[in-house]
């Protein structure tokens, strides 16, 4: 994924996060990935998968969202690994 593709994905992901945030219901990275394409469809070990976490970290650091729990991911490549459940910060 080149720099332009990364920038376009980040823009799409931030728009999707805004939609999730406006719903004012708990959500996960799985919910984000239902709205935008996965940045690394091949799930390479050194691929851009950290881009997903970076979006959540940015929103968290800006005091827009907060962690309210954990659940198992439904993404096949995650094999039921735990992911955070987020909500709009009150």
**Angstrom distance (rounded) from CA 68 to CA 77:** 24
| Residue 46: per-residue pLDDT | 52
Q: Does domain 3-88 have CATH number 3.40.50.2300?
A: no
Poorest-confidence range of 6-10, 16-20, 22-26?
Answer: 6-10
Reduced to 3 DSSP states, what percent helix, strand and coil does the chain have, rounded to the nearest 5? Answer: 50, 20, 35
Alpha carbon distances (Å) from 83 to 28, 30, 35, 86, 88? 7, 9, 17, 10, 17
Q: How far is CA 31 from the centre of its chain?
A: 8
pLDDT digits (tens, 9 = 90+) for 27-70: 999 999 999 988 766 555 555 568 899 999 999 999 999 999 99
Can you give the residue ranges of every domain in the chain?
A: 3-88
Burial of residue 87 (CB within 10 Å: 0-12, 13-18, 19+) is: middle
């Amino acid at each position: 994924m080149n720099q332009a593709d990364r920038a376009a994905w980040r823009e799409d992901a931030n728009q999707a996060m805004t939609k999730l945030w406006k719903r004012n219901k708990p959500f996960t990275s799985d919910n984000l990935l239902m709205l935008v394409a996965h940045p690394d469809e091949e799930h390479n070990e050194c691929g851009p998968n950290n881009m997903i976490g970076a979006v959540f970290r940015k929103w968290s650091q800006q005091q827009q969202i907060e962690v309210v729990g954990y659940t198992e991911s439904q993404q096949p490549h995650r094999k039921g690994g735990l992911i955070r459940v987020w909500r709009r910060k009150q």
